[in-house]
Amino acid sequence: MNTPSSTDSMTFHKEPGSVSAAEPAANPVEGDVMKRDFRFWGVFAALMVSAFTSALDLTAVSTALPVITDQLHGTQFVWVGSAYALSSTAFLPMSGGVAQIFGRRIVMLAALFFFALGSVLCGAAPSMNFLIAGRTVQGLGAGSLTSLTQIVLSDLVPLRERGAFNGLIGLAWAIASFIGPVIGGALADHNAWRWLFYLNIFTSAMAAVLVIFFLKLKTPGGTVREKLGRMDWIGNFLVIASSSAVVIALTWGGIQYPWSSARVLAPLCFGVVGLGIFLVYEIKFARYPIVPATLMSTRTGLSGYLQTFIASVVMIASIYYMPAYFQACKGASPTASGVDVFGLGFVIAPSNIIAGLTISRSNRYRPQLWLSWCFVMVGAGLLSTLKADSFRGKAIGFEAVLGVGIGILTTATYFPVLAPLPISENAHALAFFIFTRAFGQVWGVTIGATVMQNRLSTDLPASFKGVFPQGTQIAYAVIPLIPTLPADVAEETRKAFASALGELWQVMIGIGAVGLLISLAMKHIDLHSDTDEEWGVDGRKDEHQMQKLA
């Protein structure tokens, strides 16, 4: 059995209708930790730059992917996204544990380093396999970076006030989402897509400078050997191996190999069983669990995690496959398709901020989540009606409706996850929250690719489809060739893409409905107005620097 962890002495917020709890021991909002001085805003600027960096990369690659696939003569376009998601997902739970043991600053700098290193490898990639390897390294840094951004914010801002600050971080993410597709498309149009990755070096360096100068939070004591002894090595091995197996199976299933193939079923079964063993080990045996049982001990928290997963499926499917409509069906260049997806990105930023502000002001998060799922279903329903010859403005307007729902979800799913927990569990809870989000993104890419591949394999003109072997290359390899086809074949091809994407949006309607049903399980819980006194700005470092200057 696991021994009592450091959180055993903490008390819990009581979820209405649940078992006992009391207020957590914490530092009041008025304490020194919460002063909004230059140190706080320096740290917050680092968080915004980090969010901007990871979002820019995520959104820009999707519009440039057809050109990248064509120039590198690749046949594994799905792995460009899946390899990134695999590494970021597999190592996410570890990032929370490492940050809790070694401190936030060193882990965030390490995350920036791996993200920049992966970007260099991607930019220099001579082949698709090399690019996929670079994306794997990049994903390792990006996942940890996203996790640490939320963990550091939770150290400095109480949950009740965090909605507004989350909205501002969401604004940075949304701005990157606006310009990312345009930058990616413009660079692809000028055969300079490698700079799409090299640009990350500059933004990563900027974030690192801000972290070095301003992120001076308290760090745990103890020697390196003592800290390594507090790592949950068995749990980390189980979750990394199991989640990697699931990602591999989802990437291959229905695309590279049939779902009934042993090459798909074997890793899928291994991964699912492994994740089950991981959860049992964490609950029953782990001395220092990376996913404590308390994280999902309430139905509100469990609902929050499930909603996070489902919202990520919808979000990444929209980002990855909406540009395909404009490029394949409307003949848009990568740059023009990036402009066309402004309808999606333009509303995410204000939706993020408004959702965050209303949650902070009202101390309520359930109405916003219920409304968001309605927007998702309506938006996906409207998009499913698009034809190859539909008016371009209609597509942009329809995606804006979906964008409102996605914008609210990216901010609001955070609150049912954290509200039932003691604030001492922030790092573990947020690492698992980002893990759930990243795992959902894997499913979103895979579901979209599977639906498109299966539909295109039957609907593409036989004379054209015969040029391509069955496999992952059909969808993205076809798009750049459409303008070169005879008029009648090109028209059939555009209709095939519109039909495949329409089917994808129909699937998203059902997924959104599942999200709405799960959201009904939430209960209202007052948001914390405290921060954990174990973390926060380390004033001793500033005093030491002042003495040196004197």
Do both 247 and 381 map to the same domain? no
3-state secondary structure of 531: strand
Angle at 18 between CA 12 and CA 24, to 5 degrees: 10
Residue 540 belongs to some domain of the structure: no
pTM confidence score = 0.75
Residue 353 belongs to some domain of the structure: yes
Q: How many CA atoms lie within 13 A of 126 on its CB side?
A: 0
Angle at 349 between CA 427 and CA 151, to 5 degrees: 10
3-state secondary structure of 291: coil
Distance of alpha carbon 459 from the chain centroid: 32
Question: 25 vs 100, 158, 422, 529, 534, CA distance in Å?
Answer: 18, 13, 8, 12, 10
Q: What are 27's strand-pairing partners?
A: 531
Do both 240 and 305 map to the same domain? no
Residue 378 belongs to some domain of the structure: yes
Do both 294 and 281 map to the same domain? no
Do both 277 and 338 map to the same domain? no
3-state secondary structure of 255: coil
- Quickly list DSSP for 358-398: HHHHHS--HHHHHHHHHHHHHHHHHHTT--TTS-HHHHHHH
pLDDT in tens, the chain (550 residues): 444 433 333 333 444 333 333 344 344 444 444 456 777 888 888 888 888 887 787 777 767 777 887 788 766 666 777 777 778 777 777 777 777 777 788 888 998 999 999 999 998 888 888 888 888 899 888 888 888 888 888 878 888 787 778 778 877 877 777 777 778 878 887 888 888 889 888 888 988 888 888 877 666 666 777 777 777 788 888 888 888 888 788 777 766 777 788 888 899 899 889 888 988 888 888 787 777 777 777 899 899 999 999 999 998 888 878 888 888 888 887 777 777 877 776 787 788 888 888 888 888 899 999 999 999 999 999 999 999 888 888 988 999 999 999 989 988 898 898 888 877 777 778 878 888 887 888 788 778 877 887 787 777 777 665 555 444 345 566 777 788 778 888 888 888 889 989 999 999 999 999 999 999 999 888 877 665 555 555 554 444 443 443 3
How far apart (Å, rounded) are the C-alpha atoms in residues 504 and 317? 9
How far apart (Å, rounded) are the C-alpha atoms in residues 43 and 154? 12
CATH number at 53 reads: 1.20.1250.20
Label residues 419-436 b or e (16+ Cβ within 10 Å = b): bbbbbbbbbbbbbbbbbb
pLDDT at 474: 54
Q: How would you class 338 by CB atoms within 10 Å of its CB: exposed for 0-12, middle for 13-18, buried for 19 or more?
A: buried
Do both 485 and 426 map to the same domain? yes
Written as one letter, the residue type at 89 is T
Do both 151 and 282 map to the same domain? no
Provide the domain count of the chain. Answer: 2
Do both 249 and 371 map to the same domain? no
Containing 276, the helix (H) or strand (E) segment is helix 262-284
Residue at a domain's end among 242, 268, 287: 287
Do both 243 and 139 map to the same domain? no
For residue 238, the enclosing domain spans 232-287
Residue 535 belongs to some domain of the structure: no
